[in-house]
Chains A and B, each alone.
Chain A
Amino acid sequence: MATVEVTFTPLPAHVRTARLVATAVARRSGVDEALLDEVRLAVGEACSRAVEAHRRHCPAEPVRIEMTDAGERFVVVVSDHAPAAPASPAAAANGEVPHDQDGAAIPAGFGLAVISGLADDVRVWSTDSGVSVRMSWPSAVASVLARRPGRPVPSAPADGTGCLVGLSFK
Chain B
Amino acid sequence: MDLKLGHYNKDGIEVVDVEGEIDVYTAPRLRELLIDLVNKNNYQLVVNMEKVEFLDSTGLGVLVGGLKRVRAHDGSLDLVCTQERILKIFRITGLTKVFGIHGTVDEAIAAKKGEK
Interfacial residues, chain A to chain B (CB-CB below 8 A)? 12-13, 15-16, 37, 40-41, 44-45, 48, 51-52, 90, 92-99, 104-106, 110-111, 113-114, 117-118
Instruction: Please determine whether A48 and B58 come into contact, CB atoms closer than 8 angstroms.
Output: yes
Least CB distance, B19 to chain A, in whole angstroms: 15
A37 CA to B89 CA, complexed, in Å:
11
Q: List 26 A-B contacts (CB under 8 A).
A: A12-B25, A15-B24, A37-B85, A40-B54, A41-B89, A45-B57, A48-B24, A52-B24, A90-B94, A92-B93, A92-B94, A93-B94, A93-B97, A97-B71, A104-B61, A105-B62, A105-B68, A106-B57, A106-B58, A106-B61, A106-B64, A110-B60, A111-B57, A113-B93, A114-B89, A118-B92
A111 CA to B25 CA, complexed, in Å:
15
Query: Which residue on A lies nearest to B96, using beta carbons?
Result: A92
Number of residue pairs spanning A and B whose beta carbons lie under 8 angstroms apart: 76
Query: Which residue on B lies nearest to A52, using beta carbons?
Result: B24
Instruction: Identify which of A16, A95, A114 contacts B98 (C-beta below 8 A).
Output: A95
Interfacial residues, chain B to chain A (CB-CB below 8 A)? 21, 23-25, 54, 56-58, 60-62, 64-65, 67-68, 71, 85, 88-89, 92-95, 97-98
Least CB distance, B73 to chain A, in whole angstroms: 15
A48 CA to B65 CA, complexed, in Å:
18
A111 CA to B24 CA, complexed, in Å:
11
A48 CA to B57 CA, complexed, in Å:
9
Least CB distance, A9 to chain B, in whole angstroms: 13
A116 CA to B8 CA, complexed, in Å:
37
A106 CA to B60 CA, complexed, in Å:
8
Least CB distance, A61 to chain B, in whole angstroms: 17
A13 CA to B23 CA, complexed, in Å:
9
Least CB distance, B64 to chain A, in whole angstroms: 4
Query: Which residue on B lies nearest to A111, using beta carbons?
Result: B57
CB neighbours (8 Å) of A114 from chain B are 56-57, 89, 92-93
Least CB distance, B45 to chain A, in whole angstroms: 15
Instruction: Identify which of A51, A92, A104, A117 contacts B97 (C-beta below 8 A).
Output: A92
A12 CA to B21 CA, complexed, in Å:
13
Query: Which residue on A lies nearest to B58, using beta carbons?
Result: A48
Least CB distance, A65 to chain B, in whole angstroms: 15
Instruction: Please determine whether A110 and B23 come into contact, CB atoms closer than 8 angstroms.
Output: no
CB neighbours (8 Å) of A113 from chain B are 92-93
CB neighbours (8 Å) of A41 from chain B are 54, 56, 89
CB neighbours (8 Å) of B67 from chain A are 97
Instruction: Please determine whether B93 and A105 come into contact, CB atoms closer than 8 angstroms.
Output: no
